[in-house]
Structures are given as C-alpha cells and as structure tokens.
Amino acid sequence: MPERRAVLAIAEGLHARPAALFVNLAAQQPVAVTIRKADGDPVPASSILSVMGLGAGPGDEVFLASDDAAAQPSLDALAQYLESAG
C-alpha cells in the first residue's frame, strides 16, 4: 500500500476553503485516497466532513495512503498541495 507523509503548511490548516480545495483535488484523482494524522484513523480524502474532522493544523504531520499500487502520483499531487501555502 503506497503511503506519503506530508507536513501541513497551509496557515489555516484543513478548515473551510483549504479543505474544500483539497477534497476537490482528491476527488479528481483516479484512485481512492485516505488521509490520517499520525495518531489517528484514516478517513476518505474525498469527504469534506471527514477531512475537516481531522482537525489538522499548520505543522501537523499527515499521511496519505491508497490501496492502489499505482497511487504514488496521486499521493504526491495531494501532498504537494498540503505542503504549499494553499
């Protein structure tokens, strides 16, 4: 199972607009992706309520994963968004 670590650089964290943009990007991927905080359970990256429920803030470490062996480009694209300023 491919996994990608990212450190959240978005000043607002994954709340409201940044979460919506992330979920939209996740929904565009050809594979299903989950996101979790280091100490939490994975949630669907394409679910706005689940993503906002993570409570991920700036500097938090999150992990993106997929059951699809070909998911690395999708994980990298999502991590790039999270590691940018939003």
What are the pLDDT digits (tens) for 14-41?
Answer: 999 999 999 999 999 999 999 999 999 9
Dig out the tokens for 79 from the structure: 């991590």
36-75: pLDDT as tens digits: 999 999 999 999 999 999 999 999 999 999 999 999 999 9
pLDDT at 1: 87
- Residue 2 has which token pair? 């491919």
Distances (CA, A) of 8 to 31, 59, 67, 68, 84: 22, 5, 23, 24, 8
Hey, which residues are catalytic here?
A: 15
Residue 28: is it exposed, middle or buried by C-beta count within 10 angstroms (0-12/13-18/19+)? exposed
Question: For the whole model, what pTM was predicted?
Answer: 0.94
State which CATH number among 3.30.70.20, 3.30.1340.10, 2.160.20.10, 3.40.190.10 fits the domain covering 3-82.
3.30.1340.10
